[in-house]
Amino acid sequence: MNNNCKKWKIKKVLCELKHDEYLKVKLSRYYNPNAKKEELYSLVTFSENGTGVVVALTNENKIILIKQYRLAANDCLFNLPGGRLEKKSKKIKEIIKEIRKELESESYSKKRKNFYSANESDFKLLNVVFQNPTRIIDRCTIFFVKNAFKKKGKPFRVEESAERGRERVELKIDEVLEMIRKRKIKDATTITAILLAKERGLI
């Protein structure tokens, strides 16, 4: 196989717009060694630290999903617990700590007055994926965790949206797979993560 896939080299940043601490748009001039010419290209960075999700399996052998309205899709979607990482790190142990916090925060139910947590030793790395590598830099680390357990009260960190229009559901594995087949789960990362866990015999 010929190695025709060579990395582009950045020549000059022409413009950079920063919306907040997460979202950034950058227009740069690159050298494309494959075409042997310079090209202008814009990239959107969703989160420089990356994001993460977890396929969390409860003691009752159910998968935790979060149903909430997503403005970009203009629809209520089912997602796995997860979110943006607060710290930039390539160390798996540090990323697990971040994702564990996300699991607790995302799964908090004000109505039921509880949330889910898990031991860090039960987290298993499945893959690192890029959701839209053409224009968007959004690296997502996918984990699987077994034996997620309920805890009473509030987690250390609760996002405002957790108390506004977000619903936690626990569904049997077969139910979740059937929802994917019937296109009721539309989030690409959620589908990828669940099918990865299924392919590896974890669910």
Domains of the chain with bracketed CATH = 9-45 (no CATH), 51-199 (3.90.79.10)
Q: At residue 200, what is the residue type?
A: R
Judged on CB neighbours under 10 Å (0-12, 13-18, 19+), 142 is buried
Contact 109, 150 (CB under 8 A): no
Q: Provide the 10 A C-beta neighbour count for residue 106.
A: 29
Report whether pLDDT(27) > 70. Answer: yes
The pLDDT confidence band at residue 92, using thresholds 50, 70 and 90, is confident
The pLDDT tens digits for 159-189 are 654 455 688 999 999 999 999 999 999 999 9
pLDDT of residue 66: 93
The pLDDT confidence band at residue 81, using thresholds 50, 70 and 90, is very high
Distances (CA, A) of 114 to 21, 120, 168, 185: 30, 19, 11, 25
